């Protein structure tokens, strides 16, 4: 059994994240696929068929020199594209909610002593917390997202003088950690959204007692490492088809003139199939980042560390 509420050093976050999947991975992904499987299939289908059509029209108009072809295509199919856009937006919102909150509800049950969790139990958590989920979405949309966009936009502007690049390295992992801590705290406590947001920001820089070294750099470093691992694996599925598509175009056009639409035909299908697989791999691997974030959140809850240690000692005594 794994102990969650305890202090961890930088390396322990990485190793314990992988250990978590060694212990609970089979049950975790079984429930994840049962709950999220249909949404994942629909998302990949939209990427393969929907985006292929749109990019095909956009690139095709540029290649053929018809500057207004894409605008005409959009105006002729405006109704269909608007309805499709709304459906895609709803689909991605639902996918985001499930992907973010499934690890939160799963870890919450594990920390409460569960060994194997049933799909119905997680679905029950989603239903019981429907009101809080709705409030969370509103808070994320109107409070958290605008602040993050301003910070990220400011960092992009500063990239003109190089310093923005280093700011981006700080902002992205920190923004992810703050949003993840917010999810964990909001559904592990009875705090309101603003209170949990306040905690998620403060906990990045100091422990509650204020007498210990700032955990910021170990949280930041653990997130960066997980992101690199995720990026290296998923990039295989995007770079290979990209080279294949443009390589096939160069070999088929001796002068290097792109007279064919790279998003049509067999090459285009292969590209978007691989892109869909890449997206699926990213969603699955993102669980590694969310579990890592959960361990960091439990590290920050020093108020529960001693209680968890006492419970573990009592459990050992009973087993003996």
Query: Does 192 fall in a domain?
Result: yes
Query: Does 120 fall in a domain?
Result: yes
Name the domain count of the chain: 1
Selection from 191, 219, 197, 193 nearest residue 207 by Cα: 219
Domain enclosing residue 183, as ranges: 35-319
Query: Does 20 fall in a domain?
Result: no
pLDDT of 234 reads: 80
Query: Does 19 fall in a domain?
Result: no
pTM of the full structure: 0.84
Query: Does 27 fall in a domain?
Result: no
pLDDT of 257 reads: 47
Q: Output the 3-class SS for 20-66.
A: HHHHHHHHHHHHHHHHHHHHHHHHHHHHHHHHHHHHHHHHHHHHCCC
Query: Does 15 fall in a domain?
Result: no
Query: Does 16 fall in a domain?
Result: no
Asked if residues 216 and 262 have their Cβ atoms less than 8 Å apart, the reply is no
Q: One digit per residue, pLDDT tens: the chain, 320 residues?
A: 788 999 999 999 999 999 999 999 999 999 999 999 888 888 777 766 666 556 555 555 444 555 555 566 566 666 766 777 788 788 888 888 999 999 999 999 999 988 889 999 999 999 999 999 999 999 999 999 999 888 888 887 777 777 777 888 898 999 999 999 999 999 999 999 999 999 999 999 998 776 788 999 999 999 999 999 988 888 777 676 666 656 655 555 544 444 455 555 566 667 667 777 778 888 889 999 999 999 999 999 988 887 655 565 555 544 44
Query: Does 10 fall in a domain?
Result: no
């Amino acid at each position: 059994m794994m102990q969650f509420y305890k202090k961890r050093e930088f390396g322990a976050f990485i190793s314990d994240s992988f250990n978590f999947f060694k212990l609970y991975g089979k049950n975790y992904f079984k429930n994840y696929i049962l709950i999220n499987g249909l949404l994942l299939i629909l998302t990949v289908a939209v990427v393969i068929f929907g985006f292929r059509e749109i990019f095909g029209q956009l690139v095709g108009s540029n290649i053929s020199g018809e500057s207004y072809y894409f605008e005409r295509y959009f105006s002729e199919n405006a109704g269909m594209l608007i309805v499709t856009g709304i459906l895609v937006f709803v689909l991605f919102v639902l996918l985001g909610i499930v992907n973010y909150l499934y690890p939160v509800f799963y870890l919450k049950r594990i920390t409460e002593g569960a060994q194997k969790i049933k799909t119905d139990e997680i679905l029950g958590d989603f239903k019981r917390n429907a009101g809080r989920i709705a409030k969370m979405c509103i808070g994320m949309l109107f409070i958290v997202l605008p602040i993050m966009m301003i910070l990220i936009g400011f960092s992009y502007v500063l990239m003109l003088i190089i310093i923005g690049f280093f700011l981006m390295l700080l902002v992205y992992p920190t923004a992810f950690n703050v949003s993840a801590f917010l999810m964990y705290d909001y559904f592990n406590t009875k705090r309101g959204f603003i209170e949990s947001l306040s905690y998620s920001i403060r906990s990045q820089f100091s422990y509650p007692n204020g007498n210990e070294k700032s955990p910021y750099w170990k949280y930041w470093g653990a997130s960066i490492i997980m992101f690199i691992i995720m990026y290296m694996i998923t990039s295989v599925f995007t770079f290979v088809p990209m080279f294949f598509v443009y390589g096939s175009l160069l070999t088929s056009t001796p002068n290097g003139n792109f007279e064919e639409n790279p998003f049509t035909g067999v090459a285009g299908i292969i590209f978007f199939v691989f892109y869909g697989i890449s997206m699926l791999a990213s969603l699955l691997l993102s669980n590694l980042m969310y579990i890592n974030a959960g361990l960091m959140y439990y590290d920050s809850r020093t108020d529960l560390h001693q209680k968890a240690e006492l419970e573990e000692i009592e459990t050992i005594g009973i087993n003996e």
